[in-house]
Amino acid sequence: MNEINNLRREINKIDKELIDFLIKRKTFSDRIISAKKSQAISVYDKKRELEIITSLKNEFIGKINPALIEGVLREILFYSKSEYYKLNNYYSNDLNGLLDKSPILIAGPCTIESEEQLSGIAAHLFNNGIRLLRGGAFKPRTSPFSFQGLEEEGLKIMKSVAEKNNMFAVTEFLDSRQLETYYDYADVLQIGSRNMFSYGFLKQVGKKTAVDKKPVLLKRGFNATLNEFLLSAQYIINEGNPNVILCLRGIRTFEQIDSQMRNTPDLASILELKELTDLKIIFDPSHACGDAKFVVPTAVAALGLGADGLIIETHTNPQDAVTDGKQSIEPAELERVIDYINRNY
């Protein structure tokens, strides 16, 4: 037992040295970042990061698993930029310009709860370069006794917070009355999965948006085939608005009998839709997974498969969220998604 304790003490010393070296490394990294910012050079240097990882893999070949080297180095590089996570080139005031970029990143709470709540989240998002703010004012719920949203008050909060933070409002309308009454509150009009089969409503959305070509984000129904999904989009397009964005958000399968996930993430559908349509395809990992711990890796997987963007639920205090707190990530967690985007696009 004495031998084990002695070895543990040696390991403790090494662990402390590792942390000390990590702190020292970040000090130098901060100086480099500061110099880059003063010269208007991008903080991210994909070529340099790859050189670091490849060099160490080659130097220690046969001594340690190269996948472990890459995994550790990725975490160190992520930590080194922890105060500088922003989307590159996401400062255009042109909505169509933002939506033409890939990947699109839309984030915000499931439900607008108050001006204070939404303002806090929006400030975090804007500081990370995210310009598309999502939030629900009308909440279609399975139970009529569940919270249904702040409705018009919520829309007013959404519009006010978006304008103050130089962001664009992405929000859902449920019916024709809301479409006509509150149209100007939305910069991007969302049609939820429950309304994907509401063909009359889709026609009205198409006619209304045909005038100004307002972008429409159409979510796939959780039991819809890909062909049905595309035909629903066509209802909007046929009325004169080609600016439809398709959103995959998970489907219901037998897996939900005992799966931890809320739905089955329809990731493979990204590949198929890419062959079937030229419309933008984004992925919603929050509703697809239903659990915050799965959201970031699923989001990264969706981008890796070619998704044109993501819509992610985020909340500064998920444990206190009125709705869908379990699947909402904190704004800081979005930094991992931003890190992936900046390294790969």
Q: What is the pLDDT of residues 141-171, one digit of tens each?
A: 777 877 778 999 999 999 999 999 999 999 9
Reported as a pLDDT band with limits 50, 70 and 90, residue 332 is: confident
Mean pLDDT of 104-118: 96
Coil, strand or helix: which one is 124?
Answer: helix
What pLDDT is stored for residue 37 in this prediction? Answer: 84
- Residue 102 scores a pLDDT above 90: no
Relative to beta strand 168-172, strand 216-219 is unpaired
- Residue 100 scores a pLDDT above 70: yes
Mean pLDDT of 105-130: 95
pLDDT tens across 3-12, in order?
999 999 999 9
Per the CB < 8 A criterion, the answer to whether 182 and 210 are in contact is: no
**Across the chain, what does the average pLDDT equal?**
93
- 294: Cα within 13 Å, side-chain hemisphere: 19
Please state the φ and ψ torsions of residue 134, each to the nearest 5 degrees: -100, 155
pLDDT tens across 244-274, in order?
999 999 999 999 999 999 999 999 999 999 9
Please state the φ and ψ torsions of residue 197, each to the nearest 5 degrees: -95, 5
- The CA distance from 278 to 200, in Å, is 24
The residue with tokens 């662990």 is 15
- The CA distance from 312 to 149, in Å, is 19
- Residue 114 scores a pLDDT above 60: yes
pLDDT tens across 52-88, in order?
999 999 999 999 999 999 999 999 998 888 777 788 6
Terminal CA-to-CA distance of the chain, rounded, Å?
53
- 71: Cα within 13 Å, side-chain hemisphere: 5
Q: How many CB atoms lie within 10 A of CB 81?
A: 19
Coil, strand or helix: which one is 3?
Answer: helix
Mean pLDDT of 281-291: 97
Reported as a pLDDT band with limits 50, 70 and 90, residue 315 is: very high
Q: What is the CA radius of gyration of the chain?
A: 23
Relative to beta strand 132-134, strand 188-191 is unpaired
What pLDDT is stored for residue 88 in this prediction? Answer: 67
Per the CB < 8 A criterion, the answer to whether 125 and 167 are in contact is: yes
The encoded tokens of residue 143 equal 């139970």
Per the CB < 8 A criterion, the answer to whether 129 and 91 are in contact is: yes
